Structures are given as C-alpha cells and as structure tokens.
Amino acid sequence: MNGSMRPASSRLVFWSLFFGSAFFLSMTITVLLFASYAEKLGASSIPLELGQGATVGDVLTSLQRLPGASRLPTEPLIAVNERYARRDQVLAAGDEVAIIPPVAGG
C-alpha cells in the first residue's frame, strides 16, 4: 500500500491530530425544554453540537451561554433518553437531554 492509499481510519487520526479532534469528532444532541424553561429560552427543543465525550455538565454549560438562560437554575433535574442522569454522564450522538422544571402538585 503506498502512502496515498492509507486506510480511512489512519487518515482520520492524522487529520484529527493536525487540525484538532473537535474538527472531526463532534456530535449533535437534542436538548428538550419544558414549561418555564422553554419560555425563558424561547424554544422547546435546541440542537447542540458538542465534542465527543461531552457530558451532561457540558450541555448545562453550553445552555448557560444562551440568551435567557441566566434565569435557569444551576442544578436542574436532567434526563438523558428518558432516564434521570447526573452531570458526569457521558453523552452519545443523537441523545436527547431533557431539562426538567420543578413540578408542583396537589
């Protein structure tokens, strides 16, 4: 095999190292917002582009940068793919991260 015919994985590693891993190794997750959180951010769903290995905490940090997010709590209840999650949970491409507002009942 000559130098120009390297396997695709070999070329990806080279380009990742040369240009930075975030350039090629990113993923999209969907943030779901409900009730007052959706009102504050002006959307019920937000796609986020994150680097591979991103965590729930990274999602919260990204959300805090959006207009209107300063009124969100710093430690909201979170679910990933309909299961409660902690801030250190690692995400995968296509995951749905729900930011759950407090619920009052009677």
Domain extents for the chain?
Answer: 22-100
Q: What is the pLDDT of residue 73?
A: 85
- Confirm whether pTM is higher than 0.75: no
Q: Is CATH 3.30.420.40 the right assignment for the domain spanning 22-100?
A: no
Decide if 29 contacts 48 (C-beta within 8 A): yes
Q: What is the pLDDT of residue 13?
A: 43
Decide if 50 contacts 27 (C-beta within 8 A): yes
Per-residue model confidence as pLDDT tens for the chain (106 residues) = 444 444 444 444 444 444 444 445 789 999 999 998 999 899 999 999 999 999 999 999 999 898 988 878 888 999 999 999 999 999 999 999 999 988 766 5
